Amino acid sequence: MRSMKYFLQTLEETARFGRALGRQLKPGDVIALIGDLGAGKTTLTQAIAQGMGITDDVTSPTFTLVQEYGGRVPLFHFDVYRIEMMNLDEIGFEEYFERGGVVLIEWADRVLPVLPPERLNLILSISEEEMQSDEDQNPRSIEVIAFGRRYVEIVTECAPIWSGIE
Ligand code: ADP
Ligand code: MG
């Protein structure tokens, strides 16, 4: 396991952070996004998709549960905010991990028991003070936790770019 923490001061920094990660991703990789409403999960996902070479607009799949995007590597973008654990079976959730794409899950903390143990956790936070500000851009912090060798490799590749964001 390897964990790191960064500060994303602006939208542009969030975008650079996500693009760097997206460039490293390969079929089968699993990204678990955790953080409150408005923390920046979908914004970060858009940047990850860009880094993966996806040119479509990425929007929040809150009402569709999963959205598929084609690119260099397909992206399966989940938002499980409203999911009941039982429904996950119905949509064949676990099969997505075998479908040759990157699986990214917003609100992953709600489905932890069914996530592969090897994955990248990204935990986005926004302080109350920041939330109350009128500014359009405010800093987020992101905690990165790599579980398993593949994910340690990914964060090691990204680290030089990520550490330039501060
Ligand atoms: P979530 O998917 O976690 O609910 P969204 O990405 O939909 O969050 O919304 C995050 C909002 O915060 C967006 O309106 C985005 O423009 C704004 N924002 C401001 N500063 C940042 C930042 N540094 N990183 C990410 N989002 C930011
Ligand atoms: Mg979202």
Domain boundaries, the chain: 2-165
Q: Which amino acid is at 36?
A: D
Fold of 2-165: Rossmann fold (3.40.50)
User: Region 19-38: what's the mean pLDDT?
Assistant: 97
Cβ–ligand 1 contact at 45 (below 6 Å): no
pLDDT digits (tens, 9 = 90+) for 52-102: 999 999 998 767 789 999 988 999 999 999 887 778 888 899 999 999 999
CA dist 153 and 46 (Å) reads 22
In contact, 121 and 29? CB cutoff 8 Å: no
Pocket test for ligand 1, best of 43, 124, 136 (most atoms within 8 A of CB): 43
Ligand 1: atom nearest CA of 33 is 3
Helix then strand count (H, E) for the chain reads: 5, 7
Helix (H, G, I), strand (E, B) or coil at 21: helix
Return the pLDDT at 133: 60
C-alpha to C-alpha distances, 138 to 53, 104, 127, 128, 158, nearest whole angstrom: 27, 24, 10, 11, 23
35 lines ligand 1 (CB under 6 A): yes
Residues in the chain: 166
**pTM value > 0.85:** yes
